[in-house]
Structure 1
Amino acid sequence: MEIPARAGSTALSDVPAGPALGTPIVIAHRGASGHLPEHTLESYRLAIALGADYVEPDLVSTKDGVLVARHENEIGGTTDVSDHPEFAGRRTRKWVDGALVTGWFTEDFTLAELKTLRAKERLPQVRPANAAYDGRFEVPTFDEVLELVVSESRRLRRSIGVYPETKHPTYFASIGLSLEPPLLDALARHHLDRPGSTVFLQSFEVTNLRWLRTMTSLPLVQLVDADGRPFDRVLADDPRSYRDLVSPAGLFEVAAYADAIGVHKDLVLPRDDAGRVNRPSPLVAQAHDAGLLVHAWTLRNEKQFMATSFRTSPHPAAPGDPHAEVRAFLEAGVDGFFTDNTDTGVTARADWLRLDAVS
């Protein structure tokens, strides 16, 4: 696969708007992660080339307080750190959000040390073609991601958004590496902290979103899993779950500090015992009644991630139909969706918009 050439840095000004108002947005989940190792500049760049409206970096911190893009702070599965004998002694165990995790952690490395590592495919058994790029790409900083987004917006003459997630915010705050201040500082450096900037800020926790609401007017997104509780509520012995957040009353509480919910796709299209989806849940309509946008995650081309309704036949070996899955979520009324396969998302949305215009 050809990787678009690196673009130079430039300021963002007078860039045309993104999708038309009301058009569901395509959010490149960790970049074009269905095609290249996730959370690399090359993956984000490819997603932009394929037409993504937003790119989504997950943010964690280095030892020296620099935000970098990794799915987790444990990097044994997404970098070649295990091949570096100089870092063998950094392997350790930590409790992160209530789980005991073994590996190497970004907060134990300076940025200079992380830059000696190279990314690798997180799901090599699922995406063996991506693994061919192992060892080629660096771990990017958030500033580098923003520089890419700004420069590509200028070069392509279209507004490209950024949709960062703070990973494990309570954990990082507990070790003196809070994510939110450097996040806001980075956005300000790139002039993306202003009203109208194409930015969404997201978190699975509640406390840091409430704090961000006092510090920025940028739209905030409460992430909602299908099960469990936000970890800050676990620590506070607050029994309210993710399901409580998306109850009719909970949605109005969320709307007091957030502008959207980013929800597990099964909350929009629930599956039956056979793994099929039938009618949408009332969640989208209820969220809209509360004044919240709804973004669903995560749509992927591989059939094992799909409901059986989106497979071409009941046979276990039958391929999936990712275009049909995208259309089903658009028909359910979502305002956007996260996808590992930007090309699929953009094409399926275009087909749906064409059919919708005809009807």
Structure 2
Amino acid sequence: MRRNKPELPIKIISHRGASGHRPEHTLAAYELGARYGGDFIEVDLVATKDGHLIARHEPEIGHTTDVAAHPEFADRRTTRTIDGREITGFFAEDFTLEEISRLRAVERIPDVRPDNAALDGQYPIPTLAEIVELAKRLTGELGRPIGVYPETKHPAYHAAAGLELEPPLIALLRDSGLAGPDPEVPVFLQSFDPESLKKLRELEVPLVQLAHSGAAFDDALTPEGLARIAEYADAIGPDKTRIIPLGADGEPGEPTTLVEDAHAAGLLVHPYTFRSENAFLPPSLRSGQDATAYGGFAAEYEAFFELGVDGVFTDHSRHAYLARELFLQEQ
């Protein structure tokens, strides 16, 4: 059953910060996401060699930092297997926090976000502790709650390396006043791994079961599967195509009953990921042929708001905020 029902209206979850406007997982992106109307700072967590939690999209950091430009780290390049996939690069667990502090963020998708790429090398890699402090500061400055929404990334992989993510996460949130039914700032904790979420239940904050578009989550998103999720979690974070599938032509099809089914099980629904560039929109919502240009993003948000989602993961918090305001005005 749902233990902590967040306040409405629809929550705007700044996905890796305002990652459509600044390189993802940087303090600059997180702050801009909040100032653009985001309610939550969404964070992907990986561990350093000495057990600190830092914000990166994946354990492999070669695509999101300038580590390859540091000759002192050239011998750290290696190949690892994560969730059955062989990956060659540089991995956070091979670096101490001090070594990570020498690196700077780079844009992960420069072809689509060249303005972000122009900022490569400017921003350090933040720790979760720094992000929590930022959320507290912004809550005071903006006069409204700015929450944190961390994800445990590949927790089984980290555990196999002797770097469990859950114990330091639990300790940091407790020490920061972000545990229990009345945390200092709002908190959601998310993971694709149900076992990771179950380890976090002691914090008594809302838990989110993520679900990608692959067949591995088909059973979990049936009414019976959702009832099982509700035994340990408060919300689901599905790929948005689980709610409005796309046809072979890339156009939206008939909505599924997932939102209705999840609500019937007592679960909130926070789909991911909304992005405003033409490259990520259905053909009918694109504006011209430039993949980097913004298309008709408001229409996409409206379709999901109409179905009753409780929040959205977005790379463009300002666009989500404007779309939400327009939708609420029309109700």
Instruction: Please tell me the TM-score bracket, short chain as reference.
Output: over 0.9
CA 120–312 in structure 1, closer or farther in 2 if over 3 Å, else same: closer
**One-letter code of the match for 1:187?**
L
Question: Which residue number in structure 2 is paired with residue 159 of structure 1?
Answer: 145
Structure 1 gap ranges (5+): 1-19, 229-240
Question: Which residue number in structure 1 is paired with residue 188 of structure 2?
Answer: 200
SS in 2 for 1:299: coil
Q: How big is the shift at 1:211?
A: 2.1
Question: Which residue number in structure 2 is paired with residue 216 of structure 1?
Answer: 203
Q: Distance in 2 between matches of 1:247 and 1:308?
A: 29
Give the stretch that moved more between structures: 183-192 or 108-117: 183-192
Q: Is the 8 A contact 2:191 2:197 kept in 1?
A: yes
**One-letter code of the match for 1:226?**
S
Question: Which residue number in structure 1 is paired with residue 318 of structure 2?
Answer: 343
Question: Which residue number in structure 1 is paired with residue 3 of structure 2?
Answer: none
SS in 2 for 1:184: helix
Q: Distance in 2 between matches of 1:47 and 1:309?
A: 27
- In the TM superposition, what whole-angstrom CA distance separates every residue of 1:42-69 from its partner, at most 9, and x where no partner exists? 1101111111100101000000000000
Q: Is the 8 A contact 2:43 2:151 kept in 1?
A: yes
Q: Structure 1 residue 293 and structure 2 residue 268: aligned?
A: yes
1:89-168 pair list within 5 angstroms: 89-168=75-154
Structure 2 gap ranges (5+): 1-5
CA 124–169 in structure 1, closer or farther in 2 if over 3 Å, else same: same
Give the stretch that moved more between structures: 130-139 or 273-282: 273-282
Q: How big is the shift at 1:352?
A: 0.3
Q: How many residues align?
A: 323
Runs of 4 or more, structure 1, over 3 Å off, are 315-319
Q: Distance in 1 between matches of 2:244 and 2:290?
A: 21
Question: Which residue number in structure 2 is paired with residue 247 of structure 1?
Answer: 222
Q: Distance in 1 between matches of 2:157 and 2:7?
A: 37
Q: Is the 8 A contact 2:112 2:279 kept in 1?
A: no
Q: Structure 1 residue 25 and structure 2 residue 25: aligned?
A: no
CA 175–342 in structure 1, closer or farther in 2 if over 3 Å, else same: same
1:301-312 pair list within 5 angstroms: 301-311=276-286
Q: Distance in 1 between matches of 2:79 and 2:163?
A: 18
Q: Structure 1 residue 73 and structure 2 residue 48: aligned?
A: no
Q: Distance in 1 between matches of 2:278 and 2:23?
A: 19
TM-score normalised according to structure 2 size: 0.94
CA 217–321 in structure 1, closer or farther in 2 if over 3 Å, else same: same
Q: How big is the shift at 1:308?
A: 2.8
Q: How big is the shift at 1:316?
A: 8.9
SS in 2 for 1:222: strand
Q: Distance in 1 between matches of 2:290 and 2:228?
A: 42
**One-letter code of the match for 1:23?**
P
Q: Is the 8 A contact 2:54 2:126 kept in 1?
A: yes
Q: Distance in 1 between matches of 2:9 and 2:280?
A: 25
Q: Distance in 1 between matches of 2:30 and 2:247?
A: 35
Q: How big is the shift at 1:277?
A: 1.1
SS in 2 for 1:57: strand
Identity across matched positions, percent: 50
Q: Is the 8 A contact 1:74 1:103 kept in 2?
A: yes
Q: Distance in 1 between matches of 2:199 and 2:313?
A: 25
Q: Is the 8 A contact 2:278 2:287 kept in 1?
A: no
Q: Distance in 2 between matches of 1:157 and 1:194?
A: 22
Q: Distance in 1 between matches of 2:60 and 2:253?
A: 37
SS in 2 for 1:277: coil
- In the TM superposition, what whole-angstrom CA distance separates every residue of 1:217-276 from its partner, at most 9, and x where no partner exists? 111000000104xxxxxxxxxxxx211110110000000000000000000111122211
- In the TM superposition, what whole-angstrom CA distance separates every residue of 1:255-308 from its partner, at most 9, and x where no partner exists? 000000000000011112221113321000000000000001000011221223
**One-letter code of the match for 1:308?**
P
CA 177–316 in structure 1, closer or farther in 2 if over 3 Å, else same: closer
Q: Distance in 1 between matches of 2:313 and 2:182?
A: 21
SS in 1 for 2:308: coil
Q: Is the 8 A contact 2:213 2:241 kept in 1?
A: yes
Q: Is the 8 A contact 1:277 1:309 kept in 2?
A: no
- In the TM superposition, what whole-angstrom CA distance separates every residue of 1:59-95 from its partner, at most 9, and x where no partner exists? 0000000000000011111000000000000000001
**One-letter code of the match for 2:112?**
V
SS in 2 for 1:333: coil
RMSD value over aligned CA atoms?
1.5
Q: Distance in 1 between matches of 2:223 and 2:284?
A: 28
**One-letter code of the match for 1:293?**
L
